Amino acid sequence: MTPAAHYAALRPPERSRLGEGDFFSSRKWTEIELQASWFAGEFGTRFQATGGEEVRIVQFGVWNREAGPDFAEAAVSINGAAPIRGSVELDPDARDWERHGHAVNPDYESVILHIFLQKGSAAFFTRTARNRNVLQVLLDPSKLGEEPPRSAPLAKPGRCLAPLRDLPGGKAADILDAAAQFRLQNKAARIARAADAHGADEALYQALAATLGYKGNTFAFTLLTQRLPLRLLLREKERVDSLLFGVSGFLPHTGMGRFPQETRSYLRAIWEGWWPERDKWERLALKPERWRTGGVRPANHPQRRVAALAQIVRHWGKVRRLKESLDPKRIHAFFAGLHDEYWDLHYTLTAEGMTAPMALVGESRVTEMLANVFYPLAILAEPAAWSGYANLAAASVNRRVETAAIRLFGGMPQAKEMLKTAARQQGLMQIYEDFCMKDNSDCAECLFPQQIGQWR
Ligand code: SF4
Protein backbone atom coordinates (compact mmCIF):
# COMPACT_ATOMS: atom_id res chain seq x y z
CA MET A 1 0.00 0.00 0.00
CA THR A 2 1.37 3.42 -0.88
CA PRO A 3 1.78 6.03 1.91
CA ALA A 4 -1.02 8.09 0.40
CA ALA A 5 -3.40 5.15 0.21
CA HIS A 6 -2.39 4.21 3.76
CA TYR A 7 -3.21 7.70 4.98
CA ALA A 8 -6.50 7.71 3.04
CA ALA A 9 -7.51 4.50 4.77
CA LEU A 10 -6.89 6.16 8.11
CA ARG A 11 -9.18 9.08 7.40
CA PRO A 12 -12.75 9.04 8.69
CA PRO A 13 -15.27 8.18 5.95
CA GLU A 14 -16.66 11.07 3.92
CA ARG A 15 -20.15 11.96 4.99
CA SER A 16 -22.48 13.24 2.37
CA ARG A 17 -23.67 16.53 3.69
CA LEU A 18 -26.75 16.31 1.55
CA GLY A 19 -29.77 14.68 3.00
CA GLU A 20 -29.12 15.95 6.52
CA GLY A 21 -32.01 18.30 6.60
CA ASP A 22 -31.78 21.45 4.59
CA PHE A 23 -28.63 21.58 2.49
CA PHE A 24 -27.75 25.18 3.13
CA SER A 25 -28.59 25.25 6.82
CA SER A 26 -26.40 22.17 7.44
CA ARG A 27 -23.54 23.41 5.29
CA LYS A 28 -23.69 27.15 5.69
CA TRP A 29 -21.67 27.77 2.57
CA THR A 30 -22.15 31.15 1.05
CA GLU A 31 -23.09 31.59 -2.59
CA ILE A 32 -19.66 32.99 -3.38
CA GLU A 33 -17.98 29.92 -1.85
CA LEU A 34 -20.16 27.66 -3.97
CA GLN A 35 -19.21 29.64 -7.05
CA ALA A 36 -15.53 29.38 -6.10
CA SER A 37 -15.93 25.60 -5.74
CA TRP A 38 -17.55 25.41 -9.16
CA PHE A 39 -14.77 27.49 -10.68
CA ALA A 40 -12.14 25.32 -8.96
CA GLY A 41 -13.67 22.32 -10.79
CA GLU A 42 -14.78 20.54 -7.62
CA PHE A 43 -18.06 19.45 -9.18
CA GLY A 44 -16.23 18.03 -12.19
CA THR A 45 -16.47 18.96 -15.85
CA ARG A 46 -19.07 16.50 -17.16
CA PHE A 47 -22.74 16.70 -16.25
CA GLN A 48 -26.13 15.63 -17.40
CA ALA A 49 -28.56 18.51 -17.92
CA THR A 50 -32.05 18.26 -16.44
CA GLY A 51 -33.31 17.58 -19.97
CA GLY A 52 -30.89 14.64 -20.40
CA GLU A 53 -28.23 16.38 -22.58
CA GLU A 54 -24.57 15.53 -21.98
CA VAL A 55 -22.77 18.70 -20.89
CA ARG A 56 -18.99 19.08 -20.87
CA ILE A 57 -17.32 22.22 -19.52
CA VAL A 58 -14.46 22.87 -21.89
CA GLN A 59 -13.53 26.16 -20.28
CA PHE A 60 -14.82 27.65 -17.05
CA GLY A 61 -14.33 31.19 -18.38
CA VAL A 62 -13.66 34.09 -16.03
CA TRP A 63 -15.35 35.58 -13.02
CA ASN A 64 -17.63 38.38 -14.05
CA ARG A 65 -17.00 41.32 -11.71
CA GLU A 66 -19.66 43.46 -13.33
CA ALA A 67 -23.43 43.35 -13.49
CA GLY A 68 -24.69 40.15 -15.09
CA PRO A 69 -24.05 36.41 -14.89
CA ASP A 70 -21.47 34.95 -12.50
CA PHE A 71 -19.02 33.70 -15.13
CA ALA A 72 -18.31 35.07 -18.60
CA GLU A 73 -16.52 33.62 -21.64
CA ALA A 74 -17.09 29.97 -20.73
CA ALA A 75 -17.02 27.25 -23.41
CA VAL A 76 -19.47 24.36 -23.16
CA SER A 77 -19.92 21.29 -25.37
CA ILE A 78 -23.41 19.77 -25.54
CA ASN A 79 -23.88 16.16 -26.63
CA GLY A 80 -20.33 16.11 -27.94
CA ALA A 81 -20.87 18.98 -30.39
CA ALA A 82 -18.37 21.79 -31.00
CA PRO A 83 -18.22 24.01 -27.90
CA ILE A 84 -20.36 27.11 -27.68
CA ARG A 85 -19.22 30.18 -25.79
CA GLY A 86 -21.26 32.18 -23.34
CA SER A 87 -21.92 32.95 -19.68
CA VAL A 88 -22.73 30.68 -16.79
CA GLU A 89 -25.01 31.54 -13.88
CA LEU A 90 -24.78 29.62 -10.63
CA ASP A 91 -27.60 29.99 -8.12
CA PRO A 92 -28.09 28.07 -4.89
CA ASP A 93 -31.71 27.46 -5.95
CA ALA A 94 -33.09 27.21 -9.50
CA ARG A 95 -35.89 29.58 -8.58
CA ASP A 96 -33.35 32.36 -7.82
CA TRP A 97 -33.33 32.98 -11.57
CA GLU A 98 -36.84 34.42 -11.32
CA ARG A 99 -36.49 35.81 -7.80
CA HIS A 100 -33.46 37.87 -8.78
CA GLY A 101 -35.05 39.16 -11.98
CA HIS A 102 -32.60 37.45 -14.37
CA ALA A 103 -35.50 36.37 -16.57
CA VAL A 104 -36.20 39.96 -17.60
CA ASN A 105 -32.66 41.32 -17.44
CA PRO A 106 -30.98 41.63 -20.87
CA ASP A 107 -27.56 41.28 -19.18
CA TYR A 108 -28.43 37.55 -18.78
CA GLU A 109 -29.13 36.98 -22.48
CA SER A 110 -25.60 35.55 -22.88
CA VAL A 111 -26.20 32.72 -20.38
CA ILE A 112 -25.75 29.26 -21.92
CA LEU A 113 -25.87 27.28 -18.70
CA HIS A 114 -27.87 27.72 -15.50
CA ILE A 115 -26.43 25.76 -12.61
CA PHE A 116 -28.02 25.24 -9.22
CA LEU A 117 -27.82 23.02 -6.18
CA GLN A 118 -31.48 22.58 -5.48
CA LYS A 119 -34.84 23.15 -7.06
CA GLY A 120 -38.43 23.07 -5.96
CA SER A 121 -40.80 20.20 -6.64
CA ALA A 122 -42.52 22.01 -9.54
CA ALA A 123 -40.94 21.98 -13.00
CA PHE A 124 -38.92 25.14 -13.63
CA PHE A 125 -37.56 26.34 -16.95
CA THR A 126 -34.79 28.90 -17.21
CA ARG A 127 -35.79 31.50 -19.77
CA THR A 128 -34.05 34.69 -20.85
CA ALA A 129 -35.63 38.08 -21.54
CA ARG A 130 -35.93 37.04 -25.20
CA ASN A 131 -37.65 33.84 -24.12
CA ARG A 132 -34.71 31.58 -24.95
CA ASN A 133 -34.60 28.32 -23.04
CA VAL A 134 -31.32 27.86 -21.12
CA LEU A 135 -29.84 24.47 -20.37
CA GLN A 136 -30.03 23.58 -16.66
CA VAL A 137 -27.65 21.50 -14.57
CA LEU A 138 -28.48 20.34 -11.07
CA LEU A 139 -25.20 19.88 -9.20
CA ASP A 140 -24.45 17.06 -6.82
CA PRO A 141 -23.54 18.71 -3.48
CA SER A 142 -21.78 15.57 -2.25
CA LYS A 143 -18.98 16.48 -4.68
CA LEU A 144 -18.07 19.45 -2.50
CA GLY A 145 -14.90 19.17 -0.46
CA GLU A 146 -14.68 19.79 3.26
CA GLU A 147 -13.77 23.42 2.85
CA PRO A 148 -14.36 25.99 0.14
CA PRO A 149 -11.30 26.93 -1.94
CA ARG A 150 -9.13 29.37 -0.01
CA SER A 151 -9.06 31.85 -2.81
CA ALA A 152 -11.20 32.42 -5.84
CA PRO A 153 -8.90 33.34 -8.73
CA LEU A 154 -10.28 35.66 -11.36
CA ALA A 155 -9.10 33.24 -14.03
CA LYS A 156 -6.62 30.42 -14.32
CA PRO A 157 -3.22 30.61 -16.01
CA GLY A 158 -3.08 29.21 -19.53
CA ARG A 159 -0.72 26.92 -21.44
CA CYS A 160 1.28 29.90 -22.70
CA LEU A 161 2.44 30.80 -19.17
CA ALA A 162 5.51 28.52 -19.27
CA PRO A 163 6.78 29.49 -22.75
CA LEU A 164 6.29 33.18 -21.95
CA ARG A 165 8.15 32.81 -18.66
CA ASP A 166 11.01 30.99 -20.38
CA LEU A 167 11.58 33.69 -22.99
CA PRO A 168 14.87 35.58 -22.72
CA GLY A 169 14.71 39.01 -21.03
CA GLY A 170 12.55 41.61 -22.75
CA LYS A 171 11.08 39.26 -25.37
CA ALA A 172 7.66 39.00 -23.69
CA ALA A 173 7.49 42.80 -23.70
CA ASP A 174 8.44 42.77 -27.41
CA ILE A 175 5.46 40.54 -28.15
CA LEU A 176 3.14 42.90 -26.24
CA ASP A 177 4.58 45.90 -28.10
CA ALA A 178 4.04 44.20 -31.46
CA ALA A 179 0.45 43.33 -30.57
CA ALA A 180 -0.08 46.93 -29.39
CA GLN A 181 1.18 48.31 -32.71
CA PHE A 182 -1.13 45.99 -34.59
CA ARG A 183 -4.06 47.15 -32.44
CA LEU A 184 -3.15 50.80 -32.89
CA GLN A 185 -3.05 50.41 -36.68
CA ASN A 186 -6.44 48.71 -36.67
CA LYS A 187 -7.95 51.50 -34.60
CA ALA A 188 -6.40 54.07 -36.89
CA ALA A 189 -7.86 52.29 -39.93
CA ARG A 190 -11.33 52.25 -38.34
CA ILE A 191 -11.23 55.98 -37.62
CA ALA A 192 -9.91 56.60 -41.14
CA ARG A 193 -12.91 54.73 -42.61
CA ALA A 194 -15.28 56.90 -40.55
CA ALA A 195 -13.38 60.00 -41.72
CA ASP A 196 -13.74 58.89 -45.36
CA ALA A 197 -17.46 58.46 -44.86
CA HIS A 198 -18.25 61.54 -42.76
CA GLY A 199 -15.20 63.81 -42.60
CA ALA A 200 -12.33 64.11 -40.14
CA ASP A 201 -14.20 66.16 -37.52
CA GLU A 202 -17.18 63.80 -37.38
CA ALA A 203 -14.83 60.83 -37.07
CA LEU A 204 -13.01 62.47 -34.15
CA TYR A 205 -16.30 63.41 -32.45
CA GLN A 206 -17.73 59.88 -32.84
CA ALA A 207 -14.53 58.25 -31.61
CA LEU A 208 -14.34 60.49 -28.52
CA ALA A 209 -18.00 59.80 -27.75
CA ALA A 210 -17.48 56.04 -28.09
CA THR A 211 -14.63 56.30 -25.57
CA LEU A 212 -16.91 58.17 -23.19
CA GLY A 213 -19.33 55.25 -23.45
CA TYR A 214 -16.76 52.54 -22.83
CA LYS A 215 -17.57 49.92 -22.30
CA GLY A 216 -21.23 49.19 -21.69
CA ASN A 217 -22.49 52.25 -23.58
CA THR A 218 -20.14 52.49 -26.54
CA PHE A 219 -22.88 51.54 -28.99
CA ALA A 220 -25.41 53.92 -27.40
CA PHE A 221 -22.93 56.80 -27.78
CA THR A 222 -22.21 55.79 -31.36
CA LEU A 223 -25.93 55.91 -32.13
CA LEU A 224 -26.26 59.25 -30.36
CA THR A 225 -23.45 60.83 -32.37
CA GLN A 226 -24.68 59.35 -35.64
CA ARG A 227 -28.15 60.76 -35.01
CA LEU A 228 -26.85 64.09 -33.78
CA PRO A 229 -23.85 64.84 -36.00
CA LEU A 230 -21.27 67.36 -34.90
CA ARG A 231 -21.98 69.72 -37.81
CA LEU A 232 -25.57 70.07 -36.61
CA LEU A 233 -24.61 70.64 -32.98
CA LEU A 234 -22.06 73.27 -33.99
CA ARG A 235 -24.88 75.17 -35.69
CA GLU A 236 -27.07 74.83 -32.59
CA LYS A 237 -24.53 75.72 -29.91
CA GLU A 238 -27.20 77.20 -27.64
CA ARG A 239 -29.12 73.93 -27.68
CA VAL A 240 -26.26 71.42 -27.48
CA ASP A 241 -27.19 70.07 -24.03
CA SER A 242 -30.93 70.07 -24.82
CA LEU A 243 -30.46 68.11 -28.05
CA LEU A 244 -27.99 65.63 -26.58
CA PHE A 245 -30.11 64.97 -23.48
CA GLY A 246 -33.34 64.90 -25.50
CA VAL A 247 -32.09 62.46 -28.14
CA SER A 248 -30.34 60.33 -25.50
CA GLY A 249 -33.81 59.86 -23.98
CA PHE A 250 -32.66 60.98 -20.54
CA LEU A 251 -35.09 63.88 -20.11
CA PRO A 252 -37.97 63.02 -17.78
CA HIS A 253 -41.36 63.95 -19.25
CA THR A 254 -43.38 63.97 -16.06
CA GLY A 255 -43.06 64.09 -12.29
CA MET A 256 -40.66 67.05 -12.06
CA GLY A 257 -41.91 67.64 -8.55
CA ARG A 258 -39.95 64.65 -7.23
CA PHE A 259 -36.60 66.29 -8.06
CA PRO A 260 -34.67 68.58 -5.72
CA GLN A 261 -34.82 72.29 -6.50
CA GLU A 262 -31.44 72.55 -8.28
CA THR A 263 -32.34 69.59 -10.54
CA ARG A 264 -35.72 71.15 -11.37
CA SER A 265 -34.00 74.38 -12.40
CA TYR A 266 -31.46 72.49 -14.49
CA LEU A 267 -34.15 70.41 -16.22
CA ARG A 268 -36.29 73.47 -16.88
CA ALA A 269 -33.41 75.12 -18.75
CA ILE A 270 -32.72 71.95 -20.75
CA TRP A 271 -36.42 71.52 -21.58
CA GLU A 272 -36.63 75.08 -22.89
CA GLY A 273 -34.17 74.14 -25.61
CA TRP A 274 -35.69 70.68 -26.23
CA TRP A 275 -39.34 71.65 -26.35
CA PRO A 276 -39.36 73.40 -29.77
CA GLU A 277 -37.22 70.61 -31.27
CA ARG A 278 -38.94 67.67 -29.67
CA ASP A 279 -41.35 66.68 -32.47
CA LYS A 280 -38.53 66.73 -34.98
CA TRP A 281 -36.25 64.46 -32.94
CA GLU A 282 -38.53 62.32 -30.82
CA ARG A 283 -38.52 59.42 -33.27
CA LEU A 284 -34.73 59.21 -33.05
CA ALA A 285 -34.55 59.40 -29.26
CA LEU A 286 -32.80 56.41 -27.69
CA LYS A 287 -34.97 54.01 -25.68
CA PRO A 288 -34.07 53.60 -21.99
CA GLU A 289 -33.10 49.94 -22.55
CA ARG A 290 -30.38 51.10 -24.96
CA TRP A 291 -28.42 52.44 -21.98
CA ARG A 292 -26.57 50.26 -19.56
CA THR A 293 -26.51 51.68 -16.07
CA GLY A 294 -26.27 48.56 -13.89
CA GLY A 295 -22.79 48.02 -12.51
CA VAL A 296 -21.60 51.41 -13.79
CA ARG A 297 -19.69 53.53 -11.28
CA PRO A 298 -21.72 56.62 -10.34
CA ALA A 299 -19.04 58.98 -11.66
CA ASN A 300 -19.21 57.19 -15.04
CA HIS A 301 -22.98 57.24 -15.35
CA PRO A 302 -23.97 57.81 -19.00
CA GLN A 303 -25.88 60.98 -18.07
CA ARG A 304 -22.62 62.53 -16.83
CA ARG A 305 -20.92 61.30 -19.98
CA VAL A 306 -23.54 62.98 -22.16
CA ALA A 307 -22.88 66.21 -20.25
CA ALA A 308 -19.15 65.74 -20.95
CA LEU A 309 -19.87 65.26 -24.65
CA ALA A 310 -21.83 68.52 -24.66
CA GLN A 311 -18.77 70.29 -23.22
CA ILE A 312 -16.52 68.72 -25.84
CA VAL A 313 -18.80 70.08 -28.57
CA ARG A 314 -18.82 73.53 -26.96
CA HIS A 315 -15.01 73.59 -27.07
CA TRP A 316 -14.65 71.94 -30.44
CA GLY A 317 -12.06 74.38 -31.78
CA LYS A 318 -9.72 73.51 -28.90
CA VAL A 319 -10.36 69.77 -29.32
CA ARG A 320 -9.37 70.00 -32.96
CA ARG A 321 -6.15 71.83 -32.04
CA LEU A 322 -5.37 69.20 -29.40
CA LYS A 323 -5.59 66.56 -32.08
CA GLU A 324 -3.08 68.47 -34.18
CA SER A 325 -0.57 69.06 -31.39
CA LEU A 326 -0.86 65.63 -29.72
CA ASP A 327 0.59 66.73 -26.40
CA PRO A 328 -0.66 64.33 -23.66
CA LYS A 329 -0.12 66.97 -20.95
CA ARG A 330 -2.23 69.54 -22.77
CA ILE A 331 -4.90 66.96 -23.52
CA HIS A 332 -5.07 65.96 -19.84
CA ALA A 333 -5.18 69.64 -18.81
CA PHE A 334 -7.99 70.39 -21.26
CA PHE A 335 -10.24 67.59 -20.01
CA ALA A 336 -9.43 68.35 -16.36
CA GLY A 337 -10.64 71.90 -17.06
CA LEU A 338 -14.05 70.85 -18.43
CA HIS A 339 -16.82 71.93 -16.07
CA ASP A 340 -20.57 71.91 -15.92
CA GLU A 341 -22.21 73.76 -13.06
CA TYR A 342 -24.80 71.04 -12.51
CA TRP A 343 -22.86 67.87 -13.43
CA ASP A 344 -19.77 68.79 -11.41
CA LEU A 345 -21.93 68.09 -8.37
CA HIS A 346 -24.30 65.34 -9.56
CA TYR A 347 -23.87 61.69 -10.46
CA THR A 348 -27.27 61.37 -12.13
CA LEU A 349 -30.45 63.39 -12.53
CA THR A 350 -32.01 61.57 -9.62
CA ALA A 351 -29.01 61.52 -7.24
CA GLU A 352 -28.59 63.95 -4.37
CA GLY A 353 -26.05 66.71 -4.97
CA MET A 354 -22.44 65.98 -3.96
CA THR A 355 -20.67 68.09 -1.39
CA ALA A 356 -17.44 68.37 -3.41
CA PRO A 357 -17.12 68.66 -7.19
CA MET A 358 -16.02 65.68 -9.22
CA ALA A 359 -14.16 65.80 -12.56
CA LEU A 360 -16.50 65.50 -15.51
CA VAL A 361 -13.92 63.39 -17.36
CA GLY A 362 -11.51 61.50 -15.11
CA GLU A 363 -7.84 60.88 -15.83
CA SER A 364 -8.24 57.24 -16.77
CA ARG A 365 -10.86 58.19 -19.39
CA VAL A 366 -8.45 60.74 -20.87
CA THR A 367 -5.74 58.06 -21.09
CA GLU A 368 -8.26 55.86 -22.91
CA MET A 369 -8.92 58.75 -25.32
CA LEU A 370 -5.19 59.11 -25.95
CA ALA A 371 -4.81 55.37 -26.57
CA ASN A 372 -8.00 54.90 -28.60
CA VAL A 373 -8.42 58.17 -30.46
CA PHE A 374 -5.60 60.74 -30.39
CA TYR A 375 -2.66 58.36 -30.98
CA PRO A 376 -4.42 56.22 -33.61
CA LEU A 377 -5.23 59.45 -35.49
CA ALA A 378 -1.67 60.69 -35.14
CA ILE A 379 -0.19 57.47 -36.42
CA LEU A 380 -2.25 57.78 -39.59
CA ALA A 381 -0.36 60.96 -40.41
CA GLU A 382 2.98 60.11 -38.84
CA PRO A 383 4.02 56.51 -38.02
CA ALA A 384 6.75 57.84 -35.71
CA ALA A 385 3.99 58.83 -33.28
CA TRP A 386 4.28 55.24 -32.02
CA SER A 387 7.23 56.18 -29.77
CA GLY A 388 5.09 58.68 -27.86
CA TYR A 389 2.34 56.12 -27.52
CA ALA A 390 4.77 53.45 -26.32
CA ASN A 391 5.74 55.68 -23.39
CA LEU A 392 2.22 56.64 -22.36
CA ALA A 393 1.68 55.59 -18.73
CA ALA A 394 -1.36 53.38 -18.11
CA ALA A 395 -3.95 55.00 -15.86
CA SER A 396 -5.20 51.85 -14.17
CA VAL A 397 -5.70 48.14 -14.64
CA ASN A 398 -9.20 47.14 -15.68
CA ARG A 399 -10.79 43.76 -15.10
CA ARG A 400 -10.04 42.46 -18.57
CA VAL A 401 -6.35 43.38 -18.36
CA GLU A 402 -6.19 41.72 -14.96
CA THR A 403 -7.84 38.58 -16.31
CA ALA A 404 -5.54 38.47 -19.32
CA ALA A 405 -2.49 39.01 -17.10
CA ILE A 406 -3.49 35.98 -15.01
CA ARG A 407 -4.02 33.82 -18.09
CA LEU A 408 -0.74 34.74 -19.78
CA PHE A 409 1.57 35.70 -16.95
CA GLY A 410 0.10 33.98 -13.92
CA GLY A 411 -0.96 37.18 -12.19
CA MET A 412 -0.40 40.86 -11.86
CA PRO A 413 2.64 40.95 -9.50
CA GLN A 414 4.76 39.22 -12.15
CA ALA A 415 3.35 41.30 -14.98
CA LYS A 416 3.05 44.56 -13.07
CA GLU A 417 6.25 46.16 -14.28
CA MET A 418 5.64 45.17 -17.87
CA LEU A 419 2.07 46.50 -17.90
CA LYS A 420 2.82 50.02 -16.67
CA THR A 421 2.25 51.50 -20.10
CA ALA A 422 -1.06 51.88 -21.90
CA ALA A 423 0.48 50.36 -25.04
CA ARG A 424 1.45 47.10 -23.35
CA GLN A 425 -1.96 46.82 -21.75
CA GLN A 426 -3.48 47.29 -25.20
CA GLY A 427 -1.09 44.65 -26.59
CA LEU A 428 -2.17 42.23 -23.88
CA MET A 429 -5.83 42.91 -24.73
CA GLN A 430 -5.12 42.19 -28.38
CA ILE A 431 -3.59 38.80 -27.59
CA TYR A 432 -6.42 38.00 -25.20
CA GLU A 433 -9.04 38.83 -27.82
CA ASP A 434 -7.18 37.07 -30.66
CA PHE A 435 -6.39 33.87 -28.80
CA CYS A 436 -8.14 33.44 -25.43
CA MET A 437 -11.51 34.75 -26.58
CA LYS A 438 -11.47 32.48 -29.61
CA ASP A 439 -10.20 29.40 -27.85
CA ASN A 440 -12.73 26.63 -27.24
CA SER A 441 -10.26 23.98 -26.14
CA ASP A 442 -9.10 25.14 -22.71
CA CYS A 443 -5.78 26.15 -24.34
CA ALA A 444 -5.14 22.69 -25.85
CA GLU A 445 -5.52 23.83 -29.47
CA CYS A 446 -4.39 27.44 -29.03
CA LEU A 447 -1.55 28.32 -31.38
CA PHE A 448 -0.13 31.12 -29.25
CA PRO A 449 2.21 28.91 -27.12
CA GLN A 450 3.89 27.61 -30.32
CA GLN A 451 4.09 31.04 -31.85
CA ILE A 452 5.90 32.40 -28.80
CA GLY A 453 8.88 30.32 -29.91
CA GLN A 454 9.22 32.50 -33.01
CA TRP A 455 10.11 35.49 -30.81
CA ARG A 456 13.20 33.90 -29.32
S1 SF4 B 1 -5.99 30.41 -24.88
FE2 SF4 B 1 -3.92 30.57 -25.70
S3 SF4 B 1 -3.28 32.64 -25.23
FE4 SF4 B 1 -5.05 32.21 -23.95
S5 SF4 B 1 -4.22 31.46 -22.01
FE6 SF4 B 1 -4.60 29.67 -23.30
S7 SF4 B 1 -2.67 29.29 -24.35
FE8 SF4 B 1 -2.57 31.36 -23.54
Per residue, the 3-state secondary structure of the chain, as one string, reads CCHHHHHHHHCCCCCCCCCCCCHHHHHCCCHHHHHHHHHCCCCCCEEECCCCCEEEEEECCEECCCCCCCEEEEEEEECCCCCEEEEEEEEEECCHHHHCCHHHCHHHCCEEEEEEEECCCCCCCEECCCCCEEEEEECCHHHCCCCCCCCCCCCCCCCCHHHHHCCCCCHHHHHHHHHHHHHHHHHHHHHHHHHHHHCHHHHHHHHHHHHHHCCCCHHHHHHHHHHCCHHHHHHCHHHHHHHHHHHHCCCCCCCHHHCCHHHHHHHHHHHHHHHHHHHHHHHHCCCHHHCCCCCCCHHHCHHHHHHHHHHHHHCHHHHHHHHHHCCHHHHHHHHHCCCCCCHHHCCCCCCCCCCCCCCCCCHHHHHHHHHHHHHHHHHHHCHHHHHHHHCCECCCCCHHHHHHHHHHHCCHHHHCCHHHEHHHHHHHHHHHHHCHHHCCCCCCCCCHHHHHHHHC
Could you tell me if the CB of 346 is within 6 A of ligand 1? no
Locate the ligand 1 atom nearest the alpha carbon of residue 159 and give its number: 7
Could you tell me if the CB of 408 is within 6 A of ligand 1? yes
Residue 295 — pLDDT band, cuts 50, 70, 90?
confident
Q: What confidence tens digit (pLDDT) does each residue in 277-293 have?
A: 999 998 899 998 889 88
Could you tell me if the CB of 61 is within 6 A of ligand 1? no
Over residues 167-188, the mean pLDDT reads 90
Q: In the prediction, which pLDDT does 18 show?
A: 38
Over residues 183-203, the mean pLDDT reads 91
Whether 12 has a pLDDT exceeding 60, the answer reads no
Whether 67 has a pLDDT exceeding 80, the answer reads no
Q: How far apart are CA 85 and CA 69, in angstroms?
A: 13
Over residues 84-98, the mean pLDDT reads 93
For the four alpha carbons of 147, 152, 158 and 164, in that order, the dihedral sign comes to negative
Residue 176 Cα to ligand 1 midpoint, Å, equals 14
Q: In the prediction, which pLDDT does 378 show?
A: 92
Of 68, 108, 115, nearest in space to 91 by CA: 115
Could you tell me if the CB of 75 is within 6 A of ligand 1? no
Q: In the prediction, which pLDDT does 23 show?
A: 44
Q: In the prediction, which pLDDT does 120 show?
A: 83
Could you tell me if the CB of 326 is within 6 A of ligand 1? no
Could you tell me if the CB of 424 is within 6 A of ligand 1? no
Could you tell me if the CB of 158 is within 6 A of ligand 1? yes
Could you tell me if the CB of 443 is within 6 A of ligand 1? yes
Residue 410 Cα to ligand 1 midpoint, Å, equals 11
Q: In the prediction, which pLDDT does 334 show?
A: 97
The larger pLDDT score, comparing residue 418 to residue 250, is at 250
Residue 335 — pLDDT band, cuts 50, 70, 90?
very high
Residue with CA closest to ligand 1 atom 1: 436
Highest mean pLDDT among 55-69, 364-378, 414-428: 364-378
Nearest 5°: the CA angle 119, 123, 125 is 90
Q: How is the chain split into domains, by residue range?
A: 20-143, 171-390
Highest mean pLDDT among 90-94, 182-186, 317-321, 405-409: 317-321
Residue 408 Cα to ligand 1 midpoint, Å, equals 7
Of 443, 380, 437, 362, nearest in space to 163 by CA: 443
The β-bridge partners of 328 are none
Locate the ligand 1 atom nearest the alpha carbon of residue 446 and give its number: 2
Q: In the prediction, which pLDDT does 15 show?
A: 43
Residue with CA closest to ligand 1 atom 5: 158
Q: In the prediction, which pLDDT does 16 show?
A: 41
Residue 163 Cα to ligand 1 midpoint, Å, equals 11
Lowest mean pLDDT among 67-71, 79-83, 369-373: 67-71
Highest mean pLDDT among 3-12, 20-29, 97-106, 410-419: 97-106
Could you tell me if the CB of 404 is within 6 A of ligand 1? no
Locate the ligand 1 atom nearest the alpha carbon of residue 158 and give its number: 5
Could you tell me if the CB of 409 is within 6 A of ligand 1? no
Residue 179 Cα to ligand 1 midpoint, Å, equals 15
Could you tell me if the CB of 448 is within 6 A of ligand 1? yes
Over residues 136-163, the mean pLDDT reads 78
Residue 22 — pLDDT band, cuts 50, 70, 90?
very low
Average pLDDT, the chain: 87
Q: Whole-prediction pTM value?
A: 0.73
Using an 8 Å Cβ cutoff, are 410 and 161 in contact? yes
- What share of the chain has pLDDT > 70, as a percent? 91
Over residues 426-435, the mean pLDDT reads 92
Could you tell me if the CB of 428 is within 6 A of ligand 1? no
Locate the ligand 1 atom nearest the alpha carbon of residue 443 and give its number: 6
Could you tell me if the CB of 59 is within 6 A of ligand 1? no
* Pocket probe mutation, ligand 1, options 60, 62, 160, max atoms within 8 Å of Cβ: 160
Count CB atoms within 10 A of the CB of residue 133: 11
Whether 19 has a pLDDT exceeding 50, the answer reads no
Over residues 195-215, the mean pLDDT reads 92
Residue 13 — pLDDT band, cuts 50, 70, 90?
low
* Pocket probe mutation, ligand 1, options 446, 447, 450, 455, max atoms within 8 Å of Cβ: 446
Q: In the prediction, which pLDDT does 430 show?
A: 92
Over residues 109-119, the mean pLDDT reads 94
Over residues 109-117, the mean pLDDT reads 95
Residue 160 Cα to ligand 1 midpoint, Å, equals 6
Q: How far apart are CA 237 and CA 206, in angstroms?
A: 17
Whether 154 has a pLDDT exceeding 90, the answer reads no
